[in-house]
Structures are given as C-alpha cells and as structure tokens.
C-alpha cells in the first residue's frame, strides 16, 4: 500500500499545543482506505509536552529563514525541528506524499504567520520549519495541506501526484533507459493535460541520454512533479480527450464518433464532468483494446471510488 506521511493531529491524535487534534475526515475516512498513513508530530517528536506553550515563527523581514520560537520562554527550537526531518530521511524516502497541517509553525506548508520579534506584527509568508526541511530534502515529494484538500481541483491534483510519484518509486533500480522511456510514455497524456511544453522537453532530453545518470534521474522527476503540481486545465483535458479519440478513428462508426465528440465538447463547456467522456472512452477501449492507450496512467490514475473526476 502507498505510504503517505501526515501530521499526526490530522488523524485525530491529541498532540496539539492545547491537547486537541485537527482530524481531517477526508484523510482519515476516505484517503486512509487507499494509503497507509505514517503519522509524525515534529513538536512532540523533539520532546515537547502535550499541552505545551505556543510556538511561533519569528523573523525580521528575512522570511526565507524564520526561526521557531517559544515566546513564553524565549527558547529557539528551529534546529531541533529541522533535525527531526534529517534524522528520519530513510523513512521519509519511503513516502509517496505528505499531508501537512495548515498554519502550523512546524508543519504549515505556506502562508504561516511570521512575527517580528517582541511584536504582534506579522505577515503570512512563512513555511513551517519541519515542512520547509522536508521540501528541501525531497523536492519531488508531493506535499499538500489539509484545508486545501477540500478543494476538488487541489484534492485531485494531490492524489494524482501521489500515484505518479509512487509509480516512479516502484521503477526497477538501477534505472535503465528503457524503463524510463516506458515510464515517460505511460505518463504522456497525464503530463500533456498539465503541461505540454514540459512533456515535449523532457522527451527530447530523455532521448539524448545514453544512460540514465543520477543527476538526470533527479532532474527528470523533479521537473515532472513540478509540472504536475499545477492542476490540469479544461482546455488541456479537452485536447487530450480529442487526441485519444483519434485512436478509435477506424473502429467507431459515425454515430459513435459523433457521440464521443459531443460529450468531449459538453465537458469543455462545463455541462459534463470529465469522467463522462472518459467512461465512454474506457468502454470503447475495452471493445477495441489498444496497447498504447492501455498503458496510459491518464485513463486510471487513482482508485475510482475516491470519485475525484466527478468534480472536474
Ligand atoms: S501541526 Fe504538526 S507539530 Fe503541530 S500538533 Fe500537528 S503534527 Fe504536531
């Protein structure tokens, strides 16, 4: 089962500074059926108690490197929180994604308040210390925050990235050129739906590699995951669907072609969700199997019962 890191409080563990939790029902009830969550609470992990005094980020205009401080005692716990990630690199490398608790000075992914020292003046420009270190150590790892997962587009995008990254992690090692070519081909329509120039550029660069070096491997996956982190647009999905339709030009009669074409247009106009034309495409693919299409992650990127394409 795919392993996904998560802030412990999102699974209902009472580890917050006030002794409470921030249980995410989507993570615990729905996503948890498909992934194995590995919970971490960095603050408890570095030895702080529950309950504990509040922690906040402090910085003087230099929001790239704020400090995590306990205002009540003046203690600076920045290094400890970063070390908490460093010391777990082996376990973290097994994860295919990470769900972080929003706004936390340790776990927050973005827009965490950074205070001016000895003042309540603040700006929402920070990233939690643990989250920032996690991103530094593993730039390709899909990260998302609990609150953002309530947005259907962002939810779908995160889960798509989880499964693509997991497929990458499962490639045979050491990575051979043929395996990477095969992987790139299988992600073609997924990547085209997100970023056509990156698909073509990566394809060109891959074709120039005589062998897959560690540097190229890192470059490839970081570029791919960065491109996928932008949700796919309706326009790009439409292009991909029309491209796929072309694969059936010799198998479908004119009524079938017209039906599929009009469903794709209805999707583009917002009258149908993405899964409607895709369901018909999968039906035709069953009747007229095509090896190239069957290998495409785009057609079955994640478990159906997450119902992610109903909202797209
Ligand atoms: S946000 Fe992170 S540090 Fe804070 S309680 Fe949750 S898991 Fe622990």
224-282 per-position pLDDT tens digit? 999 999 999 999 999 999 999 999 999 999 999 999 999 999 999 999 999 999 999 99
- Cα separation, 95 vs 153, in Å, equals 22
- Given 102, 124, 148, the domain boundary residue is 148
Based on the fold, state whether residues 248 and 114 are members of the same structural domain.
no
Cα of 33 from ligand 1 centre, angstroms: 22
Output the CA–CA distances (angstroms, integers) from residue 208 to 184, 186, 226, in the order listed: 14, 19, 21
Based on the fold, state whether residues 179 and 300 are members of the same structural domain.
yes
| pLDDT for 118 beyond 90 | no
Ligand 1 neighbours by CB, cut-off 6 Å: 7-9, 15-16, 41-43, 101, 104, 106-107
Q: What tens digit of pLDDT does each residue of 184-199 get?
A: 999 999 999 999 999 9
Residues across the chain: 312
Nearest to 147 by CA among 26, 310, 14: 26
Based on the fold, state whether residues 159 and 144 are members of the same structural domain.
no
Based on the fold, state whether residues 117 and 159 are members of the same structural domain.
no
Question: Which atom of ligand 1 approaches the CA of 40 most closely?
Answer: 7
- Given 125, 148, 171, the domain boundary residue is 148
Nearest to 56 by CA among 43, 37, 41, 38: 43
Q: How confident is the model at residue 62 (pLDDT cuts 50, 70, 90)?
A: low
Based on the fold, state whether residues 157 and 305 are members of the same structural domain.
yes
Based on the fold, state whether residues 65 and 143 are members of the same structural domain.
yes
Query: Which residue range(s) make up the domain with 232?
Result: 151-312
Backbone angles phi, psi at 76, to 5 degrees: -100, 120
pLDDT at position 76 is 97
pLDDT at position 309 is 87
Q: Hey, is 246 helix, strand or coil?
A: helix
- 17 and 68 Cβ atoms separated by less than 8 Å: no
- Given 101, 123, 148, the domain boundary residue is 148
Residue 160 tokens, joined = 């798509």
Q: How confident is the model at residue 312 (pLDDT cuts 50, 70, 90)?
A: confident
Domain count, the chain: 2
Based on the fold, state whether residues 161 and 143 are members of the same structural domain.
no
Based on the fold, state whether residues 284 and 158 are members of the same structural domain.
yes
């Amino acid at each position: 089962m795919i392993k996904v890191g998560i802030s412990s409080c999102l699974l209902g563990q009472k580890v917050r500074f006030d002794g409470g939790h921030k249980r995410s029902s989507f993570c615990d009830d729905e996503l948890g059926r498909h992934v194995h969550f590995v919970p971490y609470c960095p603050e408890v992990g570095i030895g702080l108690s529950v309950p504990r005094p509040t922690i906040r980020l402090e910085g003087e205009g230099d929001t790239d490197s704020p400090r995590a401080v306990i205002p009540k005692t003046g203690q600076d716990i920045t290094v400890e929180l970063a070390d908490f990630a460093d010391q777990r690199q082996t376990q973290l490398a097994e994860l295919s994604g990470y769900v972080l608790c929003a706004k936390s000075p340790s776990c927050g992914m973005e827009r965490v308040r950074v205070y001016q020292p000895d003042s309540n003046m603040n700006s929402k420009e920070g990233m939690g210390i643990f989250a920032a270190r996690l991103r530094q150590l593993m730039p390709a790892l899909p990260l998302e925050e609990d609150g953002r997962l309530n947005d259907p587009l962002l939810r779908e995008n995160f889960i798509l990235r989880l499964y693509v990254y997991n497929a990458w992690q499962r490639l045979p090692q050491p990575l051979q050129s043929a395996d990477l070519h095969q992987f790139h081909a299988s992600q073609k329509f997924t990547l085209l739906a997100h970023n056509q120039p990156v698909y073509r550029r990566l394809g060109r660069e891959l074709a120039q590699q005589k062998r897959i070096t560690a540097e190229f491997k890192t470059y490839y996956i970081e570029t791919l995951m960065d491109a996928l982190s932008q949700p796919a647009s309706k326009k790009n999905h439409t292009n991909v669907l029309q491209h796929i339709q072309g694969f059936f030009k010799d198998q479908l009669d004119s009524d079938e072609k017209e039906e599929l074409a009009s469903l794709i247009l209805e999707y583009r106009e917002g009258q149908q969700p993405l899964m409607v034309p895709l369901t018909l495409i999968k039906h035709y693919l069953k009747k007229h199997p095509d090896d190239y299409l069957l290998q495409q992650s785009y057609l079955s990127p994640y478990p159906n019962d997450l119902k992610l394409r109903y909202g797209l």
